[in-house]
């Protein structure tokens, strides 16, 4: 592992922060914390924590000795001084005299010692940092160290490797008891350079930021070399027999997404959906197809704090054989059911006899291993699914390395339960109310500009994961970056491209729930003279593309079995034709009926179909030049033309976008057209 310390970079950071009144101790603490956070082999997703002991001047002008320690919600990779709240050291050090402390008492004592009452909660490992005398303390869950400590004989492996340089702390869940134990171990080993926490991770300490960091890199490098020696050239996992032909991810993902959705308990309610994030690599495929996967993969997490994101155990389904997806679905359904029953049993066993009983969390997996394919991370958002997938990938690497050294062994079930249901860990997940379209996946065609882009933004704001499909791949990328969506280059007039685009969406999110079929363009021509070629071209985009998009989406929605919403952008042309706009209005009218046909044929699948009928919206189809020309033809100013409706107000792309969101949420509405035109009686439906 490379040591990335640079005196120059450190000096620059000290100088930069000095200008803002931040002392050099804290500046260097920020510098080396970021070095640790930049390496995924050391720290992932808020894992790890760091501290420095320093003095600050309080409001009375007194010099106060404080511990600046990572605050909850911050990530080491991009931490700033505000992410290292200062806690008065004297009062929290006195806590060492206590025999025991509840978690609430500990959190309260830590918050009570903050210099800034608005600062984030100091790390749950604050007391461990405080009780150690060293100025700088670094803590990570480095992969290579986990490979050593996640063993029945982890202590022997570490002693053999580190000798007296590192002191060993037995497994205790984080909190006051661990902090006391770590202090006791340090006192017995005062010359140690750090602590190895069995089944958990590593601490190093030093008098300078560089010393603590150097020690971390050296100790982790030694662990890496040890792992490499053991794994030299060996094949770690014996493969189980799997079918030669495996079904593609895009077909498997919607089935698993549907099966893991939690059916509504009331007849009227929506199922609770999850987002899936797929990962694969040769190492992942070796791991998931191992003959003993059920032994090594279903023991527990590689470090305790993964448990809240990944659940204690992954679900393992059978390899999905190509051509037998129905069989796969049936057997996977039984596996999901068994997983849920086992999880409830685990909860019951471990909750029994508690003075303060816990409330069970949902009984769905957060990681699914699929032999022949790879793994899925699962979460209530794309971000959460991505974190679960990242942690699962890390787990694959750690367990492979641990198995190379002997046999992987996690903590006991009771310890796992304590961590999974630890209130301080659950607090990390946050309890904010969900947005109305959270856990939903929306695909929007023509999503890179105009109404499509506004719709992508509106669905993101409503909490949905969004895929922007656009024939202009570069514009789609820019729009995706702006809105936090996924970009998919796709010309909806090409059948293969549409199927491939929906495969991409299914692979990225696990499936699709809402489609806004919006891509369109206006062709003109007097109907008595217009060429058939123009009509056909317009039908290709303004009708057949809608059919293709809807068909691809319905295939995924039916595989999920949790319903869905098809939303079509028709136009007032579909209802109230304008002169010379026949080539545009005719296919749009057909699309209006296409919507009704979907409502009719797929209502029983829980799939709703609705349309938005918008008019006079500024866009590529109605640019400033066209507005000026039309206004002039009517003897109006451009503004009067745009506001020439019953309400006298211009219709904007955002208004149309809101109508799509409204229809996506209208759970008892199908076969309807929502008009967004400021009022135009000639285009009103009856």
Residues forming contacts to Zn ion in the complex (CB under 5 A) are 201
Strands 136-140 and 201-206, sheet pairing: antiparallel
The residue whose two tokens read 């690497």 is 397
For residues 36 and 319, which CB has a smaller minimum distance to Zn ion in the complex?
A: 36
Q: Which is nearer to Zn ion, 287 or 417 (CB)?
A: 417
d(CA 102, CA 114) in angstroms, rounded, equals: 19
- In the complex, what is the shortest distance from the CB of residue 139 to Zn ion, in angstroms, rounded to a whole number? 6
Structure token pair of residue 135: 């100025």
Q: Using alpha carbons, list the distances in angstroms from residue 84 to 74, 208, 332, 638.
A: 9, 17, 46, 56
Give the integer Cα–Cα distance in Å for 271 and 37. Answer: 38
Q: Give the pair of three-digit tokens for residue 242.
A: 């799997």
Q: How far is the CB of 198 from Zn ion (least distance, A)?
A: 12
Helix (H, G, I), strand (E, B) or coil at 227: helix
Query: Shortest Cβ distance from residue 109 to Zn ion (Å)?
Result: 20
Classify the phi-psi angles of 679: left when phi > 0, otherwise alpha if psi is within -120 to 50, otherwise beta: left
Choose between 146 and 676: whose C-beta lies nearer to Zn ion: 146
Whole-number Å distance between alpha carbons of 460 and 467: 10
Closest distance to Zn ion from the beta carbon of 545 (Å): 52
491 within 8 A of 256, measured Cβ to Cβ: no
Q: Which is nearer to Zn ion, 138 or 380 (CB)?
A: 138
The answer to whether 609 touches 568, Cβ cutoff 8 Å, is yes
The greatest distance separating any two alpha carbons of the chain, rounded to the nearest whole angstrom, comes to 97
| CA pair distance 375, 586, nearest whole angstrom | 46
Q: Is 151 helix (H, G, I), strand (E, B) or coil?
A: strand
For residues 201 and 374, which CB has a smaller minimum distance to Zn ion in the complex?
Answer: 201
Torsion of CA 640, 641, 647, 649, to 10 degrees: -70
CA angle (354 as vertex; 350, 356 as ends), nearest 5: 125
CB of 309 to Zn ion, least distance (A): 14
> Smallest Cα–Cα separation from 565: which of 485, 460, 671?
671
H helix or E strand, kind and range, residue 168: strand 166-169
237 burial level (CB within 10 Å; 0-12, 13-18, 19+): buried
Out of 205, 296, 584, 598, pick the active-site residue: 584
Minimum separation from the CB atom of position 386 to Zn ion (A): 21
Radius of gyration of the chain (CA): 30
Contacts for 19-24 with beta carbons within 8 Å, 24 or more apart?
A: 22/81, 23/54, 23/56
Nearest distance in Å: CB 401, Zn ion? 19
CB of 277 to Zn ion, least distance (A): 24
- Provide the minimum distance between the beta carbon of 405 and Zn ion in the complex, in angstroms, as a whole number: 21
Exposed (0-12), middle (13-18) or buried (19+): which is 256, by Cβ within 10 Å?
buried
State the Cα–Cα distance between residues 257 and 154, nearest whole angstrom: 38
Retrieve residue 636's tokens: 């109006």
Minimal distance, residue 201 CB to Zn ion, in Å: 5
Burial of residue 668 (CB within 10 Å: 0-12, 13-18, 19+) is exposed
Closest listed residue to residue 29, CA positions, set 13, 48, 42, 15: 13
Residue 421 appears among annotated catalytic residues:
no
Residues catalogued as catalytic: 584
């Amino acid at each position: 592992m490379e040591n990335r310390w640079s005196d120059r970079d450190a000096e620059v950071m000290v100088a930069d922060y000095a200008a803002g009144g931040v002392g050099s101790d804290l500046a260097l603490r920020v510098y080396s914390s970021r070095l640790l956070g930049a390496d995924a082999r050391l720290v992932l997703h808020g894992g790890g924590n760091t501290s420095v002991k320093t003095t600050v001047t309080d409001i009375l002008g007194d010099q106060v000795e404080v511990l600046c320690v990572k605050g909850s919600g911050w990530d080491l990779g991009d931490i700033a001084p505000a992410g290292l709240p200062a806690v008065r050291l004297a009062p929290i050090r006195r806590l060492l005299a206590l025999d025991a402390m509840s978690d609430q008492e500990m959190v309260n004592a830590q918050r009570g010692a903050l210099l800034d009452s608005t600062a984030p909660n100091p790390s749950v490992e604050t007391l461990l940092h405080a009780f150690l005398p060293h100025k700088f303390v670094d803590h990570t869950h480095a992969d290579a160290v986990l490979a050593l400590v996640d063993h029945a004989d982890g202590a022997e492996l570490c002693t053999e490797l580190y000798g007296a340089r590192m002191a060993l702390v037995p497994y205790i869940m984080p909190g006051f008891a661990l902090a006391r134990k770590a202090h006791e171990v340090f006192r017995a080993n005062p010359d140690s350079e750090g602590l190895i926490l069995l089944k958990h991770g590593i601490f190093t300490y030093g008098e300078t930021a560089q010393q603590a960091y150097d020690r971390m890199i050296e100790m982790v490098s030694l662990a890496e070399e040890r792992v490499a020696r053991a794994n030299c050239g060996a094949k770690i996992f014996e493969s189980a027999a799997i079918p030669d032909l495996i079904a593609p991810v895009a077909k498997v993902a919607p089935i698993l997404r549907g099966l893991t959705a939690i059916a509504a308990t009331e007849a009227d309610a929506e199922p609770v959906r999850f987002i899936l994030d797929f990962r694969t690599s040769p190492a992942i495929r070796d791991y998931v197809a191992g003959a003993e996967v059920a032994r090594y993969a279903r023991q527990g997490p590689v470090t305790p704090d993964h448990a809240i994101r990944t659940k204690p155990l992954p679900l393992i389904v059978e390899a999905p054989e190509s051509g037998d997806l129905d069989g796969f679905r049936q057997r996977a359904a039984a596996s999901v059911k068994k997983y849920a029953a086992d999880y409830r049993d685990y909860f019951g066993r471990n909750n029994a006899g508690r003075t303060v009983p816990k409330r069970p969390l949902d009984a769905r997996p957060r990681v699914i291993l699929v032999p022949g394919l790879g793994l899925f991370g699962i979460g209530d958002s794309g971000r959460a699914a991505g974190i679960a997938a990242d942690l699962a990938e890390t787990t694959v690497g750690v367990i492979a390395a641990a198995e190379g050294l002997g046999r992987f062994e996690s903590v006991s079930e009771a310890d796992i339960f304590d961590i999974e249901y630890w209130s301080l860990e659950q607090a990390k997940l946050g309890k904010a109310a969900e947005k109305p379209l959270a856990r939903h996946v929306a695909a929007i065609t023509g999503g890179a500009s105009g109404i499509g882009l506004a719709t992508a933004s509106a669905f993101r704001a409503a909490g949905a994961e969004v895929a922007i499909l656009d024939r202009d791949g570069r514009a789609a990328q820019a729009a995706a970056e702006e809105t936090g969506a996924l970009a998919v280059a796709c010309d909806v007039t090409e059948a293969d491209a549409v199927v491939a685009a929906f495969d991409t969406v299914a692979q990225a999110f696990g499936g699709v729930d809402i489609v806004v079929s919006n891509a369109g363009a206006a062709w003109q021509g007097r109907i008595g003279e217009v060429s058939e070629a123009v009509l056909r071209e317009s039908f290709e985009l303004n009708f057949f593309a809608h059919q293709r998009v809807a068909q691809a989406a319905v295939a995924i929605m039916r595989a999920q079995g949790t319903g869905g919403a098809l939303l079509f952008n028709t136009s007032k042309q579909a209802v109230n034709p304008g002169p010379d706009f026949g080539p545009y209005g005719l296919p749009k009218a057909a699309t209006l009926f296409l919507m009704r046909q979907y409502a009719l044929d797929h209502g029983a699948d829980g799939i709703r179909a609705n349309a938005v009928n918008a008019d006079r919206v500024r866009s590529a189809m109605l640019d400033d030049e066209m507005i000026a020309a039309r206004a002039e033809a009517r003897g109006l100013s451009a503004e009067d033309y745009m506001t020439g409706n019953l309400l006298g107000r211009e219709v904007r792309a955002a208004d149309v976008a809101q109508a799509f969101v409204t229809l996506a949420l209208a759970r008892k509405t199908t076969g309807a057209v929502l008009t967004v035109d400021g009022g135009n009686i000639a285009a009103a439906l009856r």
